[in-house]
Structure 1
Amino acid sequence: MRTPHVIAVMGVAGTGKTTIGHLLATRLGVPYAEGDDFHPPASIAKMSAGVPLEDADRWPWLDAIGAWAHGRAGRGGVVSCSALKRAYRDRLRATAPGLVFVHLAGDRALIEDRMGHRRGHFMPTALLDSQFATLQPLQPDEAGVVVDVSGTPEEITERAVRALAGLSDSRL
């Protein structure tokens, strides 16, 4: 399966955006971009200290991700990006109108457990509550799918591929 669409793998911290993003990009035969790499150092320092970002911190980050996605339009790509609020997704789509979202969603306890076992990531589990409080799920008028994060990364990726294949042209 190949896609000319650019896909943003979204969700709260700990859902596996990086892992699933890599696997999905490989499966689709398109490049992958790590959304965290677009954060300026000040934002990473803020999150590392357990301080949630404010919208003003996010706008340049979202604009950089949107520019990457726009540059891949018609050729496809996968980028990870929390995209928790509708306003953030709208901002991304303003730059990259054809962006399709894969919302990785799951049980809070499962996600917290996974976050507790990962090493070397700047996002502490203390910010998980603020992530869930901020999350605005995809709306029916947004191009995208919701994928459950229970199971292995391979199972989650397969669910995402099937869900994306099932999107009608009117939903893209």
Structure 2
Amino acid sequence: MSLQSELRRLYEHEMGARECFDVLASYANRITASSVDTIRDYSGQPYERVMTLMKHLAKLELGDFRIGRHGKKTRFIWAYSPRSIGEVAQGKNTELDSYEGNEPAEEEEKPELGLRHGRAPGDMALSGTGYAEVIASAKQLLAERLNLKLEQIDITIRH
């Protein structure tokens, strides 16, 4: 099975992988490392599920999985552009962008979710990263408790 086929298989069949790959595909910058915490926060997936995926990506030689020690977070050091990995998993691209021999990239990131599509990073409900269900539940609860209609409630997330 080719690397591209394996990424597609993970995207389609592994629980939580789709959300994690969607986060990777949304990166606007070239970065060399991503903390498990960051991917968890933006994907809405449990920490253990993100760690399992990152370990699998390391076995595929897409980078190195490093357990946090001495105050550093558990993280993934990318050998390829995380954006290209996400896009290959989504089926939007067939080529992985290798970092080997390329200019230095940024050390740590905060994904610029949605910026390539004209939305602000805090617009999680529209970015498809797992927050939509949480926001819908919060709106429903607020509407019931405050005796309001759903249309009267707007939720904004700022980072």
* Bin of the TM-score, shorter chain as denominator length: under 0.3
RCO comparison, higher one (Cα < 8 Å, 6+): 1
Q: Which has the higher strand share?
A: 1
TM-score (norm 2): 0.25
TM-score (norm 1): 0.24
